[in-house]
Structure 1
Amino acid sequence: MSHSRVGAVGWRAALVGALLAMAGHADAAIYRGVWDPGYGAPFDDLGWKGFATLQLPDSCLNTVGACTDPGMSVVDATVEFYNINDPSQTVLQTLEFDTNVTIYSMTVNGTELTGVDTGFFLPVQGTIPIAQYNGNDYYFQLVFHGAAAQLFYTNTPTITPACASGGFGGPVLGVCGYSANIPDVVYQPVPEPASLALMLGGLAGVAGVTAVRRRRD
C-alpha cells in the first residue's frame, strides 16, 4: 500500500471518528410542545393553538421528577388565534412571545419531558375582533404550569397579571382572566438534523476524496 493511501485511510478514520463523536455528544435535548384548546368566556369563538420549542440539558435526562438547570431554555413560543367555528382553522393572528422568561423547572421521566413550570411571558396584544370584549383589545400572556399551558388576558400590560396572584384565581370579567380550557401540552423529542446532516456531508466528502485518490493511484 502506498504512503498516500495509508495517509488517506488514517485521515478518513480520524474524520469519521470525529463526526460520530459529534453526533453522539450533544449537550442538550430539544422538545416540541403543542396544544390546541378553545378559549371560552369572554372569547367564546377564540381558538388558541400553541407551539413551543424547549431545550433540556442532558444533565436532566434519565432522571424522574423536576429538574432545575441553568441550561434550560425556551427556544420559541407561539400562539395562533383562529375561529373555532371555522373548519379550516384559518390563522387570524399569531402571537410570538419573548423567550426571555423565567424557567423554574422541567419535569422529566427518563428521556420524556412531561411538564414545564415558567413565569409569565411578556404580554402580546390581541388585535382581532374575536379576541375583544365589549370592543376592547386585550393583552395576552402565556405561562406553563406542570403539564399544562395557560393563556391569561388583561386590559393592562404587566409582568404578572393581577388575577394570577396566589395561583390561577381571581378573574374579573373584562379586566383580567384566563382560558376556561386549560390544555395539557404534548411534548415530543426533536431529532438533531444538523448533526446528522454534517455527519453525512462529511462521509460523502470522504467518499469523494477516496474515489479521486483511487483513480490517481
Structure 2
Amino acid sequence: MTRSSRPAAPTRLPAGARQRAPQVLATLEGTYPDARTELNFSTPFELLVATVLSAQATDVSVNAATPALFARYPDAHAMGTALPEDLEPLIRSIGLYRGKARNLAALARLLVQRHGGEVPNDFDAVVALPGAGRKTANVVLSNAYGYPAIAVDTHVGRLARRLGLSTHANPDKVEADLQKLFPRERWVFLHHALILHGRRVCHARTPDCGGCAMQGFCPQVGVTAHS
C-alpha cells in the first residue's frame, strides 16, 4: 500500500505526555478490550460509503440507513449508475444528505473508472475520492485492510487534548502526536477505544470525570463542567 508522501507537520508534545500515554493505553485496553468500529459493513465498499455518510452524523443513523442503501446499490458498479436524486431518499435521515448523495454517486463512478470498482488499498487514492479525506482513508484502510492508522474524529481530538496528549485542534497534528506516543500495532485499537470513551464517558459538554477510570492521571485540560 502506498502511504501519503506528505510529511506530518512537526509538533511538540505536551509536558508529561510520554509518561501519561502508557497509562491511557492500559486503561483503554482494560475498559474497552474489544473496541472496534461501530459502523456496520461487510465489504470495503460498504465501509467507505458508511464512513462518508458518518461525517457530522451518528453511527446509529448511518447504520439505520445503509441496509436499504446497500440492498439497492450493493457495490460501486451499481451505485455508479445512480444519480444523486436516486440516492437521496435512501439517506434522507442522515445529516447533509444532499451533498453526501452527490459525493457517493461521483465516488462510485470514480471507483469503477480508476480502480475497477474496488476500494484501493492506497491512502492517496482514497483521499482523492469525493467526500473522502484523511480520516476516511484511515478508517477504511485500518478496518478493511488492517493497515495501522489513527483516524482523528471529534472524539479522538477532544480526548487527546483533555488527556494532555496533544495541544492541537488540527486533526493532522493530533494524529502525528498520537503516532509518536503509542505503539504502531495499537493505533487502530487506540482510535476505536478513544471514540468509545468519548461517546460513553468523556462527553463534549459535561464529561463524567467522577466515573472515569482515568481520573487519577487525566489533567482534564479545558474541562469546565463535570457531570
Higher relative contact order (CA 8 A, sep 6+): 2
Q: Larger C-alpha radius of gyration, 1 or 2?
A: 1
Give the TM-score normalised by structure 2: 0.24
Between Structure 1 and Structure 2, which shows a larger proportion of helix residues? 2
Give the TM-score normalised by structure 1: 0.25
